[in-house]
Amino acid sequence: MYKEKWTAALIQMDSREDESRNLEAAARKVREAALQGADLVMLPETVDFIGRDMRSHGKTVPGPVSELFRELARENHIYLHCGSITEAAGGEKCRNTSLLFDPGGEIAGRYSKLHLFDVELSGGKMIRESAQIAGGSQVALSKTELGMLGFGICYDIRFPEMFRIMGKHQAQVILVCANFTDPTGQAHWEPLLRARAIENTCYILACGQCGEKWNYTAHGNSMIVDPWGRIVARADKKEQILMGEIDMGLADKTRRQIPSLENIRQDVYELVEKSVKIY
């Protein structure tokens, strides 16, 4: 049985190219959120490093970065979602990997970003995330004392099929760490998050980066969206700790009221689930 009501803390950060500074700031803010009563603390995407060459910062898991977060979870007796870190993948690329630690400091969930952002923009500007990042290979969920948690990273929110699969596997809360750019964030961030919550009658906890990065502005606007699609709490574009209550009774009630997950027409169409890992 999971905890009926609990408190989430989303730590919106401005991570840059100074890894030591990023990790020191993350540790300080995790402790601050724990003191404010958070049961689960969440960090943004690539909390450890954001710069031109992500590959040079790939770390092994377990390793020094994951060990820091393990100790923070154990020390503060919280669930700690480290956002994502650059994980060494072997060869010339790294992985964009989320880790969830339980209050004892054990890894309770692990997910590597599936969908990589490759695009050619107007004026010939190219963004090729796949040039440095190796994509993951499975959808991941974690059965915890706080409920069934699912995982997504940034660009993943544009792929509702992935979130539907997590919903079908009873995800009650989906944790999305992100580093959304400001132009697309202004147009799409909120509607995409609210749609994923409504479609799957679950909470969405979306923790983002903010500030000026090396070649773009991050959108910020971390938010907690409830299963009805309502925004429970929302950050602005500055570094901050966003707190909100998660009511699992509301999640259960909404699924009874709107049984869309039960009404899927499997006889007409089917989602092919090649790999789902439940921790």
Going from the first residue of the chain to its last (279 residues), give the mean pLDDT of each consecutive group of 10, the final group possibly shorter: 96 96 98 98 97 86 97 98 94 94 98 91 74 95 98 98 97 98 95 98 98 93 98 98 98 96 92 94
Question: Of 19, 45, 59, 202, which one is the catalytic site residue?
Answer: 45
8-state DSSP, 127: E
pLDDT at 120: 76
Q: Where are the beta strands (DSSP E) in the chain?
A: 5-12, 40-42, 79-81, 85-88, 94-101, 107-112, 118-120, 126-128, 139-144, 147-153, 173-178, 203-208, 210-212, 217-219, 223-225, 231-234, 240-247, 276-278
Other residues' Cβ atoms within 10 Å of the Cβ of residue 193: 23
Quick check: 59 and 86 in contact, CB under 8 A?
Answer: yes
Write the CATH number for 213: 3.60.110.10
- Omega cis (within 30) before 62: yes
What separation, in Å, do the N-terminal and C-terminal C-alpha atoms of the chain show? 16
Decide if 13 contacts 47 (C-beta within 8 A).
Answer: yes
Q: Are 82 and 116 in contact (CB under 8 A)?
A: no
Q: Judge whether 237 counts as a catalytic residue.
A: no
Active site residue: 154, 202, 207, 210, which one? 154
The pLDDT score that the predictor gives to residue 226 is 98
Q: Domain count for the chain, please give it.
A: 1
Amino acid 121: pLDDT? 61
pLDDT digits (tens, 9 = 90+) for 113-141: 999 988 776 666 677 888 899 999 999 99
Residue of 82, 113, 207, 210 marked active site? 113
Find the largest Cα–Cα distance for the chain: 54
pLDDT of residue 71: 98
pLDDT score recorded for residue 269: 92
CA nearest neighbour of 9 among 279, 192, 245, 243:
243
Q: If you ran DSSP here, which 8-state letter would residue 76 be given?
A: H
The DSSP letter of residue 59 is: B
Q: What is the pLDDT of residue 272?
A: 87
d(CA 93, CA 106): 26
Q: Which residues contact 124 (CB under 8 A, 6 or more apart)?
A: none
94 is catalytic: no
| pLDDT for residue 124 | 67
pLDDT at residue 37, as a whole number: 98
Joined tokens for residue 182: 């400001």
How far apart CA 195 and CA 192 sit, in angstroms, is 5
Annotated catalytic residue 113: yes
For the chain, give me the number of helices (H) and strands (E)? 6, 18
Cα 194 from Cα 234, distance rounded (Å)? 12
Q: Which domain holds residue 15?
A: 5-278
pLDDT for 214: 87
